[in-house]
C-alpha cells in the first residue's frame, strides 16, 4: 500500500509527482530547506534572543525586554503542545478536542511542587498552600506529599498525561470510536476535567487554581536570570519535540499513520492494526502536551481550570489549522503567531479577540484549508512546476514533460 511521503504530506506539487527524478529533486530541495530553516530559527531563538536580552542597553531598539522574552517562552511552550496536536490530527487524521486536559495535568503537576516550595512565605505564613488555609484544610492531602520532590513533579508532568491518555485511548480506539464521535468524547472529557478541577473538594485551588509561585529549586522565579534559563530550556525542549515528531513521521510507523488518515479501511485490510498505531500517536501527543504544561507554569506563574477546558482545547486546534496541519513547521508558526496576535489585540481591543479568532478560523477553513505553510508550499510548488518545462532542469534533474496534474 502506497502512502504520501511524510516529509511533505500536506501537498507535493505536480513537479514532484511525475517522474522519479522530479520527485527526488523536489524532496531533496524541500528537505534541505527544512533542515536549514530548523537550524537558523533554532540559533536565533536559542542564542540571539537571550543575547539581545542581556547585552544591549535597555533603551536600545535592539534590546529584548524581560517581559518579551518571558512571553516568547510561553508561546514556545504552546508550540510544543501544537506539535502534539499536529501529530495526531494533521498526520493521523484524529481530531482531539481535549488536549487542554493533558496540558493541564502537566501544568498542575509542576504547579503543585511550586506551591509547596512557597512554604511560610505564603500570605497566611503556613506551610500549607493559601487556598487550603482559606478552605480550612488542616493537613496536607496525601496525594500532595510526593510533590515536595522536584524530580517527582517533573516525571508526573509527563507520566500522568501519558497514563491517562493510554487508558482513555485504549478504551476509545478498541471500541472503534473515530471521526466526529472521537472529537465529541474528547470534548466531553475536557468539560468533565474542567468541572472536576473547579471543585474545592479536589484540593487543587478551585476556580482560582494554583498561583503566586516564589521559587524553583531555590532560585527566585522573579529573577531575570531564572526566566532566561526557563526560556532556554523551553527552546531546547521545542527542538527536541520537533525532531521527535519529524523522526516519527519519517519512519515506517509514520507512513502507516498517514495511511490511516487517508484510508483506515485499507490499512486494516492490509494486515495492520490501526487501533495500536492510533493509541501510540495519541499517547505521544499527550506526553508532549504534558511537557508543554510543565514548561508553561513557572514562566506564566499561574494555572487555573479555565486554561484546560473546552474553549482552550478548541483554540489549540485553531493554532494548528492556521499554521497548516500536516506540517510540523505550521504547527509551531500557528501557535506562536495566533498567541502573539492575541497578546496584542487583547491589550488594545479585548472585546474583539473572540470575534477575530472565530473569523480567522472560518477564513482558514473556507479560503486557505491547507493553512499558512501549506499555502506557501502550494505557491512554491506551482513556481517549481513552471520551471520544470521541456528543455529546462529542476533541481539538477532534466524534466522533459510539462506538468499535467495539480496539487494533491
Q: In the predicted model, what is the mean pLDDT of residues 108-115?
A: 96
pLDDT at res. 350 = 79
> pLDDT confidence of 208, banded at 50, 70, 90?
very high
Asked whether the predicted pLDDT for residue 306 surpasses 50, the reply is yes
Taking the complete model, does pTM exceed 0.85, yes or no? yes
Q: In the predicted model, what is the mean pLDDT of residues 218-238?
A: 95
CA distance 65 to 49: 10
Percent of the chain with pLDDT over 90: 64
CA distance 286 to 292: 10
Grid look-up 510544543 returns 80
CB 129 within 8 A of CB 122: yes
pLDDT at res. 389 = 52
pLDDT at res. 92 = 95
Grid look-up 522519479 returns 20
One-character DSSP codes across 248-288: HHHSHHHHHHHHHHH-HHHHHHTT--HHHHHHHHHHHHHHH
All three cell numbers of 325: 496541519
Tens of pLDDT, residues 121-137 = 888 888 889 899 888 88
Tens of pLDDT, residues 232-258 = 999 999 999 999 999 999 999 999 999
Q: Give, for 295, the enclosing helix (H) or strand (E).
A: helix 274-300
All three cell numbers of 317: 486546534
What's 306's DSSP letter?
G
Instruction: Pick 384 or 173 by higher pLDDT.
Output: 173
User: Torsion angle of alpha carbons 79, 323, 39, 56, nearest 10°?
Assistant: -70
Three-state DSSP at 219 gives strand
Percent of the chain with pLDDT over 70: 85
Q: In the predicted model, what is the mean pLDDT of residues 276-281?
A: 96
Q: In the predicted model, what is the mean pLDDT of residues 323-330?
A: 91
One-character DSSP codes across 331-363: HHHHHHHHHHHHHHHHHH-GGGHHHHHHHHHHH
Instruction: Pick 354 or 272 by higher pLDDT.
Output: 272
Burial class (CB in 10 A: 0-12, 13-18, 19+), 302: middle
Identify the weakest region by mean pLDDT among 15-24, 187-196, 255-264, 379-388.
15-24
CB 273 within 8 A of CB 114: no
pLDDT at res. 8 = 41
Asked whether the predicted pLDDT for residue 364 surpasses 90, the reply is no
One-character DSSP codes across 89-135: IITT----S-HHHHHHHHHHHHHHHHHHHHGGGSTT--SS-HHHHHT
Q: In the predicted model, what is the mean pLDDT of residues 352-374?
A: 86
CA distance 361 to 352: 14
All three cell numbers of 306: 479555565
- 302 strand-pairing partners: 211
Tens of pLDDT, residues 11-50 = 444 444 455 666 566 556 666 677 788 889 999 999 999 9
> pLDDT confidence of 300, banded at 50, 70, 90?
very high
Q: Tally Cβ neighbours within 10 Å of residue 374.
A: 21
All three cell numbers of 9: 504530506
Between the two ends of the chain, the Cα-to-Cα distance in Å is 17
> pLDDT confidence of 400, banded at 50, 70, 90?
very low
All three cell numbers of 68: 518579551
CB 219 within 8 A of CB 287: no
Q: In the predicted model, what is the mean pLDDT of residues 339-358?
A: 86
Name 323's Cβ contacts closer than 8 Å, sequence gap at least 6: 82, 329, 330, 331, 332, 333, 334, 335, 337, 371, 372, 373
CA distance 189 to 393: 53
pLDDT at res. 21 = 62
pLDDT at res. 4 = 40
Asked whether the predicted pLDDT for residue 266 surpasses 70, the reply is yes
Average pLDDT of the chain, as a whole number: 86
Closest CA to 65 of 224, 233, 271, 218: 224
Amino acid at each position: 500500500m502506497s502512502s504520501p511521503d511524510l516529509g511533505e504530506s500536506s501537498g507535493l506539487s505536480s513537479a514532484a509527482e511525475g517522474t522519479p527524478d522530479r520527485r527526488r529533486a523536489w524532496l531533496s530541495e524541500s528537505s534541505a530547506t527544512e533542515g536549514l530553516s530548523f537550524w537558523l530559527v533554532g540559533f536565533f531563538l536559542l542564542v540571539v534572543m537571550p543575547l539581545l536580552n542581556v547585552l544591549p542597553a535597555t533603551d536600545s531598539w535592539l534590546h529584548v525586554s524581560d517581559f518579551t522574552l518571558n512571553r516568547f517562552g510561553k508561546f514556545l511552550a504552546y508550540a510544543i503542545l501544537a506539535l502534539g496536536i499536529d501529530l495526531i490530527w494533521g498526520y493521523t487524521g484524529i481530531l482531539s478536542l481535549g488536549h487542554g486536559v493533558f496540558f493541564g495535568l502537566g501544568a498542575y503537576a509542576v504547579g503543585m511542587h511550586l506551591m509547596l516550595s512557597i512554604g511560610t512565605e505564603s500570605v497566611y505564613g503556613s506551610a500549607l498552600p493559601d487556598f487550603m488555609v482559606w478552605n480550612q484544610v488542616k493537613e496536607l492531602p496525601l496525594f500532595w506529599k510526593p510533590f515536595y520532590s522536584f524530580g517527582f513533579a517533573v516525571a508526573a508532568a509527563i507520566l500522568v498525561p501519558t497514563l491517562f491518555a493510554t487508558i482513555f485511548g485504549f478504551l476509545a480506539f478498541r471500541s472503534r470510536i473515530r471521526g466526529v464521535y472521537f472529537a465529541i468524547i474528547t470534548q466531553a472529557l475536557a468539560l468533565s476535567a474542567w468541572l472536576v478541577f473547579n471543585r474545592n473538594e479536589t484540593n487543587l485551588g478551585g476556580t482560582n487554581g494554583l498561583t503566586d509561585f516564589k521559587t524553583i529549586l531555590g532560585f527566585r522565579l522573579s529573577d531575570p536570570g531564572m526566566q532566561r534559563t526557563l526560556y532556554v530550556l523551553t527552546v531546547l525542549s521545542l527542538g527536541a519535540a520537533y525532531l521527535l515528531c519529524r523522526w516519527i513521521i519519517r519512519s515506517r510507523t509514520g507512513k502507516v499513520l498517514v495511511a490511516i488518515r487517508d484510508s483506515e479501511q485499507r490499512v486494516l485490510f492490509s494486515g495492520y492494526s490501526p487501533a495500536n498505531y492510533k493509541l501510540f500517536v495519541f499517547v505521544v501527543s499527550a506526553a508532549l502536551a504534558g511537557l508543554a504544561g510543565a514548561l508553561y507554569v513557572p514562566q506564566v506563574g499561574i494555572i487555573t481550570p479555565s486554561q484546560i477546558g473546552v474553549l482552550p482545547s478548541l483554540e489549540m486546534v485553531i493554532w494548528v489549522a492556521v499554521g497548516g496541519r500536516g506540517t510540523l513547521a505550521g504547527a509551531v508558526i500557528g501557535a506562536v503567531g495566533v498567541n502573539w496576535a492575541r497578546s496584542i489585540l487583547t491589550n488594545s481591543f479585548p472585546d474583539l479577540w473572540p470575534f477575530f479568532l472565530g473569523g480567522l478560523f472560518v477564513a482558514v477553513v473556507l479560503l486557505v484549508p491547507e493553512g499558512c505553510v501549506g499555502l506557501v508550499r502550494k505557491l512554491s510548488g506551482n513556481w517549481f512546476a513552471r520551471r520544470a518545462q521541456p528543455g529546462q532542469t529542476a533541481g539538477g534533474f532534466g524534466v522533459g514533460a510539462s506538468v499535467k496534474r495539480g496539487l494533491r
